[in-house]
């Protein structure tokens, strides 16, 4: 009998209002701000979606999660005052890394899509470490 395919991790979404601080003088989202908002989404996903405190992981546990690969496609503009839905899907769980697909859209239009690879690291040595067991368990339960 063939092994069952792994269950996909549930999609995580949050709505974020586009603020003045996210925009250039034309009132359009300045593209690096999408990366800031995606990082906020990842933090919220860990803390609220997985139940693993992102602040505690980086602080007392000294576990970092740097981006080692990043791809972005900017498809349409976002404007100050809009509320966009930001979404996160897990594409791959590795021994030391996670590959995430992220997107943001509103009004039926996808504004940006990104893929990032995050690697778990020891913040004292800056070397890659295995996925923490609580993270792996939370991913399996999601």
Average pLDDT of the chain to the nearest whole number: 94
Domain presence at residue 5? no
Domain presence at residue 2? no
pTM: 0.91
pLDDT at 8: 59
Cβ neighbours for 31, distance < 8 A, ≥ 6 positions apart = 72, 74, 112
pLDDT at 87: 98
63-121 pLDDT per residue, tens = 999 999 999 999 999 999 999 999 999 999 999 999 999 999 999 999 999 999 999 99
Domain presence at residue 16? yes
Which residue from 32, 30, 55 is spatially nearest to 42, judged by alpha carbons? 55
Domain count across the chain: 1
Domain presence at residue 1? no
Domain presence at residue 7? no
Domain of residue 104, residue span: 12-141
The CATH number of whichever domain residue 57 belongs to comes to: 3.10.129.10
Question: Per DSSP, what are the bridge partners of residue 87?
Answer: 13, 103
Buried b (16+ CB within 10 A) or exposed e, 7-36: eebeebebebebeeebbeeeeebeeebbbe
CB 64 within 8 A of CB 106: no
Domain presence at residue 60? yes
CB 50 within 8 A of CB 41: no
Domain presence at residue 77? yes
CB 101 within 8 A of CB 110: no
Domain presence at residue 129? yes
4-14 pLDDT per residue, tens = 444 557 899 99
């Amino acid at each position: 009998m063939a092994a069952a395919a792994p269950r996909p991790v549930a999609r995580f979404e949050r709505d974020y209002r586009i603020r003045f601080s996210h925009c250039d003088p034309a009132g359009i989202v300045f593209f690096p701000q999408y990366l800031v908002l995606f990082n906020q989404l990842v933090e919220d996903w860990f803390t609220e979606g997985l139940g693993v405190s992102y602040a505690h992981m980086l602080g007392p546990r000294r576990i970092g999660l740097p981006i080692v690969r990043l791809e972005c496609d900017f498809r349409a503009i976002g404007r100050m005052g809009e509320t966009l839905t930001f979404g996160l899907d897990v594409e791959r769980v590795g021994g030391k890394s996670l590959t995430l697909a992220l997107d943001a859209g509103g009004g039926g239009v996808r504004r940006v899509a990104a893929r990032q690879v995050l690697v778990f690291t020891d913040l004292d040595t800056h070397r890659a470490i295995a996925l923490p067991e609580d993270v792996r368990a939370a991913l399996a339960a999601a």
